[in-house]
Amino acid sequence: MPSRLTLAAAGGVISSLLLIPGTLATAASPQHDGAPAHPKHLLLPGHLVLSRTVYTAPKDAIVPGVTKLPAGCTTACVTAVADGGYPEVFNNESVDESFGITSPILLDALTQSGHTMGTLQVPTDAHGDHLVTSFPSKSELSLNLSTYGNALTFMGYVAPVNSPDVSNSNTPGVVDPTNPVGTSYYRAVAELRPNGTLGFTETNAYSGNNGRAAILDSADNRLFMAGNAGNGGAPEPVGVIAGAGAQTTTPSLLPESLQQVGQPTPAGGFSVTQLGDKADKVGKDTNFRGLTVHDNVVYLTKGSGGNGVNTVYFIDTTGKACPTGVGLPVPGAPMPTQPLAYNPATLQSTGLPENMCVLKGFPTALKSTTSFPFGVWFANDTTMYVADEGDGTNTYDPATDTYTDAAAQAGAGLQKWVLSNGAWKLDYTIQQGLNLGTPYDVSGYPTGDNSATGLPWAPATDGLRTITGKVDRDGTVTIWGVTSTVSGATDEGADPNRLVRVTDQLDATSAAADSFRTLRTARSGEALRGVVYVPGE
C-alpha cells in the first residue's frame, strides 16, 4: 500500500492526495495498488473526470434497536432498524427520513471510452483538511471546470467519514432548532487547482440540506454554488432562507481550521409569484441541483422537491430580461459580481429579492410530474442538452420484471433543446440504450427482494443526472452521463448506477439511431455521481 503524496498548496495549505494509475476502489474498502502520481495529472486534456463514492462504514457503525436516530436528536428519537451493513443500512430511512452515511470522495481520470487512468482520493482524515460526501445523496458531487477551464470544483461536507445524517445537519453558523438532526457541519467547495493542489472553502450555506455543485468564475475569483437548505419547521431561520439555492463566495487559501466562516451570501432569488402563482414555501422555490456557466450567464436547474417549478433558470444581472419571470439572457450581460442584497427583517415573509428567470420555452408548471431536469450542457449558443432524471417512481410488474413507470416515461433521458424564434424548443429526447425500467445485475449486490419494501433489490435506469460533452469539427456531438435509478431499495440514491455515452449530430432534428452505450456500472457499495470532459486533445 503506497503512502499518500503530500503537496504544499498555495497560501500554505497542505493537501494530502492519492492518485493511483488504473485502479478502481472496491465496495467496502477503497484500497489501491500502484505507485502515486502527481494530482495535476487528473485533468488530462481530451479525457473525462468522474466523481464517485464508496461505502466504508462497518456493520457495527449502526446497531439495530440501540442506535438513536436522527443523529444528535434530543426529542422524538427513534432507534435504528438495520445495522451498518450495505445496502440494508439504508432501510433505516423508514424510521429516520434524514438518514444517510458519509463516505469518501474519489475522482477518476478516464479515457473517453471509460478506461480508468488514475484515481484521486480526497482526504478524509479529520486532523487535516478533509471532505466527504453523503453516500445515498444522489444530487451531490457534480463536477465543473472553471470558466478558464483549468480548475475543477465540487462540494461536500467537512465531517468525519462514516457519520450518520450529515446531509441534513445544520451548519455551525446557521442553526435551526427545529431540525430533528442535532449535529452541525460546514459545507465546503473543493477546488483542484491548476498546480495540482486541492483547497477547500467552507460555507454556512445549505444548513439542513446539501450543496450540490460549484463553479469558479476565474476572471473574478468568485465561486457560484447550487443546492438546497432547510430540514426543520416554519418559519425557517433567516440564515436558512438566505443560504438556499444559488450562492456565492470567495475561494479561501487558508486551511479549514483557520477559516473564519461568515453568513451565507446568496447570488440569486426566484419566487413562483413572478409567474403569477400563489406564494409557495419561502426558500423552497430555489431547490437547485444543476449548475453551469455559458457565455457569462449562470444557469441552474430545479427538478425535485414538493414546491416550485421544475425547470431551467438563469441569473439576470440586468434586471431587464424577464419582467414576467420568463425570458432570455440579455446579450453581453455581465457575470454576477456581488452577492444579492436582502433585508433580514422581511426575509421570512417575502423571501429573497428576485433576480432569476425561467429560460423561455422551458416548463413553467407548478410541481410538474413530467419534468425533472438535472445536468445542462451547451453544445453551442443555440443548442443545449438537458439531463432529465425521471420521476423516481418504482412501480414494478413482476410478470414482465419491469419498473413500468420508468419504462413509460417520455421525457426521461437526454433532451436536446434548440433556440429558435426567440425561445428554446425541445427537439427530441434520446432514450435508446438506457433500457429505462429494465433491472440489471450487479456483482456482489443482493438478489431477490428487499424485505423492507417487498420489491427487487436490482436497480433499473430511470434517467440521467449529470452530463458533459464535446463537439467535433464534423458536427458530431458526444455526450457522457451518469444515470439515475429506481429499485426496491429504501433509498434509491444508494443504488449502483452507470456511466453512459451517446453520440448525436449537431444539426439533427430527430434521435434517429442515437443509442447509449454503458461504459461502466458501479460495483456493489459504489455510486457514480459527476462527470466532466476536459477539452483539448
Report yes or no: 79 and 66 within 8 Å, Cβ to Cβ.
Answer: yes
Query: Taking residues 31-49, what's their average pLDDT?
Result: 66
Where exactly are the structural domains of the chain?
Answer: 372-529+533-537
Task: Band the pLDDT of 41: cuts 50, 70, 90.
Answer: confident
Q: Are strands 356-359 and 326-327 parallel, antiparallel or unpaired?
A: parallel
Task: Band the pLDDT of 32: cuts 50, 70, 90.
Answer: very low
Q: Is the pLDDT of residue 4 over 50?
A: no
Please report the pLDDT score of residue 304 as a whole number: 86
- What percent of the chain shows pLDDT beyond 90? 87
Query: Taking residues 398-412, what's their average pLDDT?
Result: 98
Radius of gyration of the chain (CA): 22
Distance CA(170)–CA(166), nearest Å, equals 8
- Local structure of residue 406 (DSSP, 8 states): H
Tens of pLDDT, residue by residue over 469-508, are: 999 999 999 999 999 999 999 999 999 999 999 999 999 9
Distance CA(208)–CA(195), nearest Å, equals 34
Report yes or no: 200 and 256 within 8 Å, Cβ to Cβ.
Answer: yes
Short-list 467, 392, 493, CA closest to 140: 493
354 contacts: CB under 8 Å, gap ≥ 6: 269, 270, 271, 274, 325
Q: Is the pLDDT of residue 306 over 90?
A: no
Q: What is the mean pLDDT of the chain?
A: 92
Decide which of 41 and 342 is more confident. 342
Burial environment of residue 68 by CB neighbours within 10 A (0 to 12, 13 to 18, 19 or more): middle
Short-list 491, 487, 485, CA closest to 521: 485
Please report the pLDDT score of residue 193 as a whole number: 92
Please report the pLDDT score of residue 495 as a whole number: 98
Task: Band the pLDDT of 40: cuts 50, 70, 90.
Answer: low
Distance CA(143)–CA(146), nearest Å, equals 10
Give me the phi and psi of 55, to 5 degrees please: -80, 125
Q: Is the pLDDT of residue 537 over 70?
A: no
Q: Is the pLDDT of residue 372 over 90?
A: yes
Please report the pLDDT score of residue 38 as a whole number: 55
Please report the pLDDT score of residue 234 as a whole number: 87
Distance CA(17)–CA(270), nearest Å, equals 39
Task: Band the pLDDT of 21: cuts 50, 70, 90.
Answer: very low
Burial environment of residue 60 by CB neighbours within 10 A (0 to 12, 13 to 18, 19 or more): exposed
Please report the pLDDT score of residue 364 as a whole number: 96
Helix (H) or strand (E) holding 300: strand 297-302
Q: What CA–CA distances, in Å, run from 448 to 403, 455, 456?
A: 15, 8, 5
